[in-house]
Amino acid sequence: MNHSSVRPTDVLEEILNQYGTMLFRYALMMLNDTSEAEDVVQDTLLIYWQKSPVFNDKDHEKAWLLTVTVNRCRDLLRKRMRRGETSLDNVAEVADIAAELSEDSGILEALIQLPEKYKKVLYLYYVEEYRIEDIAGIIGKTASAVKMRLKKGRELLGEKYRKEFM
């Protein structure tokens, strides 16, 4: 993105308008907490503004923003684990927001309850429509590992959905 003739706030507003909902949904799914998800999106935009990265194209920009969001979510999840906090305290609140963001909140609610390594790849593959190779780059795993997580994640998601929503 060429920022030379554009004010930084205009660039941030454009990025937020274009990617904000996607980044928020991902952070919400990972963290199960709306205020933390909002903080992650804000942190991602701040990092974008501070680093002023140059991208080859829109896909590169989107992948970079999502990678920063993934890393910020990981940081918060690690912090929670060190403090012994549970990550399912706000599932009802998250499910309500998920219903607003998704046509089938039952699927998204079941997805939210999966272990992180499965919900991450399922979300990126089915919701954000990333290719397996791109997901591997974003999460730092091999394409084979992503395929295995997709397979196991689909199985777990199907079991959880059938058990709780049918």
pLDDT digit string (tens) for 69-112?
988 988 888 787 777 665 444 444 444 544 454 445 567 677 77
Across the range 126-142, mean pLDDT stands at 87
pLDDT attached to residue 94: 46
Distance CA 25, CA 153 (A): 18
Domain shared by 16 and 96, yes or no: yes
More confident residue, 103 or 11: 11
- Kindly state whether residues 23 and 42 are assigned to the same domain: yes
Query: Is a pLDDT exceeding 90 seen at residue 142?
Result: yes
The last residue of a domain, from among 73, 101, 129: 101
Is 52 in the same domain as 13?
yes
Q: What is the CATH number of the domain that holds 12?
A: 1.10.1740
* pTM, to two decimals: 0.63
Where does the pLDDT of residue 4 fall: very low under 50, low under 70, confident under 90, or very high at 90 and above?
very low
Residues 50 and 95 in one domain: yes
Judge if 57 and 138 occupy the same domain. Answer: no
Give the pLDDT of residue 50: 87
Residue 120 shares a structural domain with residue 53: no
Taking residue 94's Cβ as centre, other Cβ atoms within 10 Å add up to 23
What is the helix, strand, coil percentage profile of the chain, to 5? 80, 0, 20
**Domain match, 84 and 109 both:** no
Examine the domain organization and report whether 166 and 94 are in the same domain.
no
Q: Who has greater pLDDT, 86 or 53?
A: 53
Q: Where are the alpha helices (DSSP H) in 32-142?
A: 34-51, 58-83, 91-101, 105-112, 116-122, 132-139
Encoded tokens for 16: 């937020």
Closest CA to 30 of 69, 72, 73, 68: 73
Domain that holds residue 62: 1-101
pLDDT for the residue numbered 102: 47
Task: State percent of the chain over pLDDT 70.
Answer: 79
Looking at the fold, whether 80 and 149 belong to one and the same domain comes out as: no
